[in-house]
Amino acid sequence: MRGRREGSRLRPTHRSSGAGAGTTAQVTVTPRGEGAMVRFHQEPLPDAAARADRRRHRRAVTEDVVNSLMPQGS
């Protein structure tokens, strides 16, 4: 864990197998009305293809989290 801000931010280091130094992912949660906004940032990534891959992954995970929090039948 590279850093954290209690209640709002985590900055873990992610290392793929066989990778060198890895990347730092940042997850920030900010209260918004009755809910919250979750933001993701990750660096460094090697190229546009890697950024697009991470974006797809984060959107899929976010969709899974939202769906798991929704009442059944909504």
pTM beyond 0.85: no
Residues 13-67 pLDDT 10s: 877 766 567 888 888 999 999 888 888 888 888 899 989 998 999 999 889 988 9
Cβ atoms 62, 38 nearer than 8 A: yes
Could you tell me the pLDDT band of residue 73, with boundaries at 50, 70 and 90?
Answer: low
Length in residues, the chain: 74
In this prediction, residue 49 carries a pLDDT of 93
Using omega within 30 degrees of 0 as the cis cutoff, is the peptide bond preceding 44 cis? yes
In this prediction, residue 4 carries a pLDDT of 73
Using CA atoms in the order 51, 69, 2, 49, what is the torsion angle rounded to 10 degrees?
-10
